[in-house]
Amino acid sequence: MKEAQFYEKKDEQKIQCYLCSHRCLIPPGKVGVCGVRRNVDGILYSLVYGRTIADNVDPIEKKPLFHFQPGSRSFSIATVGCNFHCLHCQNFSISQVTKGEGEIVGKSLSPEQIVKLAKNYQCKSIAYTYTEPTIFLEYALDTARLAHEQGIKNVFVTNGYITPEALQSAYTAIDGANIDLKSFDEKQHQKLCGAKLQPVLESIQLYHELGVWVEVTTLVIPHHNDSEEELTKIAQFIVAIDPGIPWHVTQFYPTYKLTNEPRTPIETLQKVRDIGKKAGLRYVYTGNIPGDEGENTYCYKCGKLLIQRMGYLIQANHIIDDSLCPSCGAEIDGVNLT
């Protein structure tokens, strides 16, 4: 165990954790909603520091990040635990294993070892992903700061439930983030993942204001968040922050506790892509349907095909001088695009 950050001591040895927006008040001997932060005699400890449950080399497009070092590899790590309990979680076997104070599993892997592995595999970034990186933030930040010293960038794949206080402390170590926006309806958001919507919206705004590269993902689930009205509101929300933020609208498939709904029809995702573009977004991508034209990056001014993709693989990248369309000279939003 390692003493956690982002908490305050209260009366009767209780602890107020302010790492995420649940802001758990944790009695002695108990853990927060995430299941991996325990109050031991009035001191909060991270139970997962230095213990990875997954470490893999992934294409950055798998995160998905399409405008952040496209075509590069990202060394991806996770610990067990999550502060959400999404009904459709595809990684439930590692994210939900700690609920009910289950066993903390994982192998020992220090921040120094993670950075060394990333270098050995010639990864341009380290991704904190699969589960929710906020719940292992101390571990992620120690790793991220070492990575920066070696010229390696850091990306969070996150539900956006970090508190403003924690993000203000952490953002200089984070270069990019893909943030899930699961719904734009408060009741539906709480039903799907057990958390409030507003903190996620505020987090997306704050990540962007702090200069972190942001992309947003919405898993489009039939009968839950697939109405034209709701998806239009999501698109308009993103546009109001920055029309250059890419929006990934992704196909749902039945999993975990949400097996009674069908896969998202391809036609629905193509319609959502049109909704996003009509709202003023420059880049809207369809996910989980390899070969669809919605995987590609087009110039938002002249329409030229700039990056052609097939699934997670880049087949061609025509962007020049790091960010320019070769046809009309428009500057394409992103980080290290060539």
Q: What are the tens digits of pLDDT across the range 204-256? A: 999 999 999 999 999 999 999 999 999 999 999 999 999 999 999 999 999 99
If one counts the domains in the chain, the total is: 3
Quote the domain boundaries for residue 312: 298-338
C-alpha pair distances (Å), 38 with each of 22, 99, 297, 324:
15, 13, 44, 49
Domain match, 12 and 61 both: no
Cα atoms in the Cβ-side hemisphere of radius 13 Å centred on 38: 18
278 alpha carbon, distance to own chain's centre? 25
11 alpha carbon, distance to own chain's centre? 35
Angle subtended at Cα 322 by Cα 317 and Cα 327, rounded to the nearest 5 degrees: 60
pLDDT at residue 104, as a whole number: 86
CATH number of residue 242's parent domain? 3.20.20.70
Domain match, 57 and 153 both: yes
Domain match, 243 and 325 both: no
> Hey, is 157 helix, strand or coil?
strand
pLDDT at residue 117, as a whole number: 98
Domain match, 26 and 163 both: no
> Hey, is 54 helix, strand or coil?
strand
| Per-chain mean pLDDT for the chain | 96
Using alpha carbons, select from 194, 182, 275 the residue that is nearest to residue 221: 182
Domain match, 200 and 279 both: yes
| pTM (global) more than 0.95 | yes
Domain match, 84 and 227 both: yes
Task: Give the mean pLDDT of 77-81.
Answer: 97
pLDDT at residue 98, as a whole number: 77
Quick one: tokens of 212?
């972190």
- Number of residues that make up the chain: 338
* Span of 101-115, 287-301, 305-319 with lowest mean pLDDT: 101-115
Domain match, 37 and 112 both: no
**Which residue is listed with tokens 């165990």?**
1
Domain match, 142 and 29 both: no
pLDDT at residue 60, as a whole number: 98
Cα(27)–Cα(12) distance, integer angstroms: 8
Percent of the chain with pLDDT over 90: 97
One-letter identity of residue 75: F
Using the 3D structure, point to which of 295, 310, 326 is the last residue of a domain.
295
Residue 304 DSSP class: -
Domain match, 183 and 260 both: yes
Contact 288/309 with Cβ under 8 angstroms? Answer: no
User: What is the tens place of the pLDDT at every residue in 253-265?
Assistant: 999 999 999 999 9
User: What is the tens place of the pLDDT at every residue in 18-50?
Assistant: 999 999 999 999 999 999 999 999 999 999 999
Domain match, 215 and 311 both: no
Asked if pLDDT for residue 99 goes beyond 80, the answer is no
pLDDT bin (cut points 50, 70, 90) of residue 102 is: low
Domain match, 191 and 310 both: no
pLDDT bin (cut points 50, 70, 90) of residue 1 is: confident
Residue 58: beta bridge partners?
A: 74
Cα distance from N-terminal residue to C-terminal residue, the chain: 42
Q: Is the peptide bond before 64 cis (omega within 30 degrees of 0)?
A: yes
Axis crossing angle, helix 137-149 with helix 111-120, rounded to the nearest 10: 50
Task: Give the mean pLDDT of 270-293.
Answer: 96
Percent of the chain with pLDDT over 70: 99
Domain match, 111 and 199 both: yes
pLDDT at residue 172, as a whole number: 98
pLDDT at residue 100, as a whole number: 56
